[in-house]
Chains A and B, each alone.
Chain A
Amino acid sequence: KAGVTQTPRYLIKTRGQQVTLSCSPISGHRSVSWYQQTPGQGLQFLFEYFSETQRNKGNFPGRFSGRQFSNSRSEMNVSTLELGDSALYLCASSYVPGDTIYFGEGSWLTVV
């Protein structure tokens, strides 16, 4: 079956703009989590959703937000982009919270 699908794979935005990233989990998976990966900070947890509800949230400013739809697909949004937001954004899914997580290929965001 298909893995975790993230779109778009690559994008370039200008400082101050906003961006929306999309994630389709593995079929049957109902939990989706998001991570930011940068060379200096490693894999940082953003948030986790299950049944359209945010269950956990990492230490990121309010500019970072997300949501989950009834079909378990998820989106994350970053508003008022800063240069430091340039990173690989990874989505991961699992059957339920606490189960093994599987990652997508990520969305590469460059802010100029």
Chain B
Amino acid sequence: GENVEQHPSTLSVQEGDSAVIKCTYSDSASNYFPWYKQELGKGPQLIIDIRSNVGEKKDQRIAVTLNKTAKHFSLHITETQPEDSAVYFCASRGGYQKVTFGTGTKLQVIP
């Protein structure tokens, strides 16, 4: 089955700096890659997603890049703010298969 590796497990950045979280996947049939943000005590919230026919997608301060050849995708957060502090999960899915999640990255933005 699909395996998703996520790095780093923890990340501390100064407010205003950029944060990058990287994921790799194993199944070449995977074609959908969402990212979720989970705040303490809450369920994961979808923040951005990308499909395999697109190499990059942006939404304000958040961007995701996908390299299908290398089987990796990354989340980029620019101009980080304290409210960006949370756990971020990458995920992948091929067709109608189940979604497989990475192990999460705890992001801390230091004011």
Please indicate whether A and B come from the same complex rather than being unrelated chains: yes
How many residues does chain B have at the interface if contact means C-beta atoms less than 8 Å apart?
21
Look across to chain B and name the residue whose beta carbon is closest to the beta carbon of A4: B43
Residue of B95, B99, B102 touching A101 (CB-CB under 8 A): B99
- Decide yes or no: A43 and B101 within 8 Å by CB, A103-B36, A103-B44, A105-B43 being known contacts: yes
Contact with A along B69-111 (1 / 0, CB 8 A): 0000000000000000000010001011111111110000000
Contact B44 A45 (CB under 8 A): no
Contact B43 A56 (CB under 8 A): no
- Decide yes or no: A97 and B46 within 8 Å by CB, A42-B103, A42-B104, A43-B101 being known contacts: no
How many residues does chain A have at the interface if contact means C-beta atoms less than 8 Å apart?
20
- Decide yes or no: A97 and B96 within 8 Å by CB, A43-B89, A43-B101 being known contacts: yes
Residue of B42, B96, B97, B99 touching A105 (CB-CB under 8 A): B42
Look across to chain A and name the residue whose beta carbon is closest to the beta carbon of B34: A100
Residue of A58, A90, A98 touching B44 (CB-CB under 8 A): A90
Is residue A102 within 8 Å, beta carbon to beta carbon, of the partner chain?
Answer: yes
- Decide yes or no: A104 and B43 within 8 Å by CB, A45-B99, A48-B98 being known contacts: yes
Q: What's the Cα separation between A35 and B42 when bound, in Å?
A: 14
Q: What's the Cα separation between A58 and B44 when bound, in Å?
A: 19
Is residue A25 within 8 Å, beta carbon to beta carbon, of the partner chain?
Answer: no
Look across to chain A and name the residue whose beta carbon is closest to the beta carbon of B97: A56
Look across to chain B and name the residue whose beta carbon is closest to the beta carbon of A35: B101
Chain A residues near B46 (CB-CB < 8 A): 100-102
Q: A42-B101, A103-B45 known; 16 other A-B pairs, CB under 8 Å? A: A35-B101, A42-B102, A42-B103, A43-B44, A43-B89, A43-B101, A43-B104, A45-B99, A98-B95, A98-B96, A101-B34, A101-B99, A103-B36, A103-B44, A104-B43, A105-B42
| Contacts from B to A (Cβ < 8 Å) | 32, 34, 36, 42-46, 49, 89, 93, 95-104
| Contacts from A to B (Cβ < 8 Å) | 4, 33, 35, 42-43, 45, 48, 55-56, 58, 90, 97-98, 100-106
Closest 9 CB pairs of A and B: A103-B43, A43-B101, A98-B96, A105-B43, A42-B103, A56-B98, A97-B96, A103-B44, A45-B98
